Amino acid sequence: MGLLSDPVRRRALARLVLRLNAPLCVLSYVAGIAWFLALVFPPLTQRTYMSENAMGSTMVEEQFAGGDRARAFARDFAAHRKKSGALPVAWLERTMRSVGLEVYTQSFSRKLPFPDETHERYMVSGTNVYGILRAPRAASTESLVLTVPCGSDSTNSQAVGLLLALAAHFRGQIYWAKDIIFLVTEHDLLGTEAWLEAYHDVNVTGMQSSPLQGRAGAIQAAVALELSSDVVTSLDVAVEGLNGQLPNLDLLNLFQTFCQKGGLLCTLQGKLQPQDWTSLDGPLQGLQTLLLMVLRQASGRPHGSHGLFLRYRVEALTLRGINSFRQYKYDLVAVGKALEGMFRKLNHLLERLHQSFFLYLLPALSRFVSIGLYMPAAGFLLLVLGLKALELWMQLHEAEVGLEEPGGAPGPSVPLPPSQGVGLASLVAPLLISQAMGLALYVLPVLGQHVATQYFPVAEAEAVVLTLLAIYAAGLALPHNTHRVVSTQAPDRGWMALKLVALIYLALQLGCIALTNFSLGFLLATTMVPAAALAKPHGPRTLYAALLVLTSPAATLLGSLFLWRELQEAPLSLAEGWQLFLAALAQGVLEHHTYGALLFPLLSLGLYPCWLLFWNVLFWK
């Protein structure tokens, strides 16, 4: 402390920070990126391990043998669905009752804010069917959920078949301590959201649904199943949920142990896990998986219906059956046995899953990086903003002192208030204008879609996306500051103060985001930090402007799409990329309205205005 309270040493330190600012910033940024890349190497990535005692061993004898039954159920279900063109509610009710469940239905309807062109739906109404297996000698205080989301297309029939066959098998066992809910939802995630909201008797998204007749206490864990073929070559597991929430790592460990036990081939992000972590190949492959996970988590959308459960603190994951061209295939019995094992282990739980990690990154199914090890990467990146802000603060302070010194000792208090007043007053206008632009970006596209469709020959969904882009671009052209009030005494003070505020604003936002959703925070920090640090109204302005545009939130989204497809080994052409970008914008807005995803409001109300401030700094006159 003595170092800072001694004015002489303090001044020396300040001078050091000022002089070495640029190298320190570069060093910190590079360190952040390097730290992130190093996360896939063994000392930083660790083997996963089961923390929950109740699920410690896999000593469960799986007895599920209903493969034929599952296939028969699936065939019947597919036939009935084809005949009725919707979820065959009556057939499902009958079948669930015949396997001995307590069956209930729930109808729901939802008018989307604008037509969803990806899923081709606008006015949605459907029915969820669920059956409850009541545990004997228990008071229905806890339950587990096995859910199958059914979309409008005819996929997932096998999942329904397996669900029914498992229900029939589970019904005959006497060891259940928790009720098990078998849930089939219509309109995939919309149905799941409607059911979850009704189960917890809340209304988050404006869904209209009938109240639930049957409940089974607090849901402890949920597994969502997606299967569209009679045989699978591998099971893919999805963990990323709404707003980047993740289930407890133990649930994933449980799945992995049963995959190993049954000899099933399991993938994460569609990638097999590398065997060899000592050479460079393993970590490189891990890096691909890690980047895919970061991109998916950053998108904040639920990747499977499990993602919606996480809001209610129900640990959940989605299992997807993949049927590729691989030689060796597994039938439904193998998948059913893995599920049976998982449910029996979850049945043993004495407490909610809480022992293991909730915040982690996965470079492979059996490797993880804990929050303590990945946070420094984001910390280093945010340090750049801090250093820059410190530099600006000191420069402003020095300018103040410099102004005062010629005036001399007699009246130090005379010139100070006006200069400060000018500095702050000149900040109000740009801050307000950029925030107003953000608000317009958030509100206008959905609100003004009907006006847009009246005057332009576009559909509603197109109108929303195009309005979004138009407002986004218009934000760049708006005059942000009122030039009259800028003091002539210190021409630099205005932009420096504005940049200082913008830097602190950005650092705070990114810090908060990185705490809740590391992937999003890190991704945005990687792109936005360099341009934000460089922006100033002198020097090669066009270069800075190009850099700033390239790292704006929208451009980051576009770039992420290309990177994502590149990592999935399905590269995009430019036109495809643009189409995907437009679709992603529409999906982002829709997911905010239908599921409560926070990425759209975060970008439009938080980061876009902040970015506009830097744009404003760049074109400061």
Partner 1 sequence: MAAAMPLALLVLLLLGRKGWCLAEPPRDSLREELVITPLPSGDVAATFQFRTRWDSELQREGGLSVLLKADRLFHTSYHSQAVHIRPVCRNARCTSISWELRQTLSVVFDAFITGQGKKDWSLFRMFSRTLTEPCPLASESRVYVDITNYNQDNETLEVNPPPTTTYQDVILGTRKIYAIYDLLDTAMINNSRNLNIQLKWKRPPENEAPPVPFLHAQRYVSGYGLQKGELSTLLYNTHPYRAFPVLLLDTVPWYLRLYVHTLTITSKGKENKPSYIHYQPAQDRLQPHLLEMLIQLPANSVTKVSIQFERALLKWTEYTPDPNHGFYVSPSVLSALVPSVVAAKPVDWEESPLFNSLFPVSDGSNYFVRLYTEPLLVNLPTPDFSMPYNVICLTCTVVAVCYGSFYNLLTRTFHIEEPRTGGLAKRLANLIRRARGVPPL
201 near partner 1, judged by CB under 8 A? yes
3-class secondary structure, 104: strand
Gap between the Cα atoms of 162 and 155, Å rounded: 13
137 near partner 1, judged by CB under 8 A? yes
CB of 23 to partner 1, least distance (A): 26
> In Å, what is the CA distance from 227 to each residue of 161, 164, 408, 411?
9, 13, 81, 80
Nearer to partner 1, 99 or 437 (CB): 99
3-class secondary structure, 246: coil
Q: Is 372 exposed, middle or buried (0-12, 13-18, 19+ CB in 10 A)?
A: exposed
CB of 448 to partner 1, least distance (A): 33
CB of 287 to partner 1, least distance (A): 28
Which stretch in 198-206, 281-289, 461-469, 610-618 sits in contact with partner 1 by CB under 8 A?
Answer: 198-206
What x/- string results for residues 218 through 257 when contact with partner 1 is judged by CB under 8 A?
A: x---------------------------------------
400 near partner 1, judged by CB under 8 A? no
Positive/negative CA dihedral, 125, 193, 293, 150: negative
Separate counts of helices (H) and strands (E) for the chain? 22, 14
Nearer to partner 1, 195 or 442 (CB): 195
Gap between the Cα atoms of 599 and 579, Å rounded: 20
34 near partner 1, judged by CB under 8 A? no
139 near partner 1, judged by CB under 8 A? yes
3-class secondary structure, 510: helix
CB of 165 to partner 1, least distance (A): 14
Q: Which of 75, 329, 348, 352 binds partner 1 (CB under 8 A)?
A: 352
5 near partner 1, judged by CB under 8 A? yes
Cβ contact 222:308 at 8 Å: no
Q: Which of 10, 15, 326, 538 binds partner 1 (CB under 8 A)?
A: 10
Nearer to partner 1, 56 or 539 (CB): 56
Q: Which of 63, 84, 118, 141 binds partner 1 (CB under 8 A)?
A: 141
574 near partner 1, judged by CB under 8 A? no
Gap between the Cα atoms of 28 and 388, Å rounded: 11
Q: Which of 69, 81, 134, 320 binds partner 1 (CB under 8 A)?
A: 134
Q: What is the DSSP string of 301-369?
A: --SSTHHHHGGGT-EEEEEEEE--S-S--EEHHHHHHHHHHHHHHHHT-SS-S-SS-SSEEEEETTEEE
Nearer to partner 1, 1 or 575 (CB): 1
Which stretch in 91-99, 250-258, 288-296, 360-368 sits in contact with partner 1 by CB under 8 A?
Answer: 91-99
In what order do the strands lie in the sheet containing 367-370?
46-47, 367-370, 360-364
Nearer to partner 1, 170 or 581 (CB): 170
Cβ contact 395:496 at 8 Å: yes
Task: Give the residues across from 108 on adjacent strands.
Answer: 126, 209
413 near partner 1, judged by CB under 8 A? no
417 near partner 1, judged by CB under 8 A? no
CB of 48 to partner 1, least distance (A): 17
In 3D, which of 475, 479, 608, 616 has the Cα closest to residue 537?
Answer: 616
171 near partner 1, judged by CB under 8 A? yes
Q: Which of 97, 111, 483, 621 binds partner 1 (CB under 8 A)?
A: 97
Positive/negative CA dihedral, 49, 357, 36, 587: positive
Q: β-strand 218-226 against 315-322: which pairing, if any? A: parallel
User: Which 8-state DSSP code applies to residue 551?
Assistant: T
Assigned token pair, 518: 């590391």
Residue 491, CA atoms < 13 Å, CB-side half-sphere: 5
Gap between the Cα atoms of 532 and 611, Å rounded: 8
136 near partner 1, judged by CB under 8 A? yes
CB of 457 to partner 1, least distance (A): 44
Backbone dihedral region of 373: left (phi > 0), alpha (psi from -120 to 50 degrees) or beta?
Answer: alpha
Which stretch in 5-13, 19-27, 447-455, 495-503 sits in contact with partner 1 by CB under 8 A?
Answer: 5-13
Q: Which of 200, 261, 565, 593 binds partner 1 (CB under 8 A)?
A: 200
172 near partner 1, judged by CB under 8 A? yes
329 near partner 1, judged by CB under 8 A? no
Cβ contact 152:119 at 8 Å: yes
404 near partner 1, judged by CB under 8 A? no
Number of chain residues interacting with partner 1 (CB under 8 A): 35
Nearer to partner 1, 7 or 417 (CB): 7
75 near partner 1, judged by CB under 8 A? no
**Binding stretches for partner 1 (CB under 8 A):** 1, 4-5, 7, 10, 94, 97-100, 102, 134, 136-137, 139-142, 171-172, 174, 200-202, 215, 217-218, 311-313, 350-352, 354-355
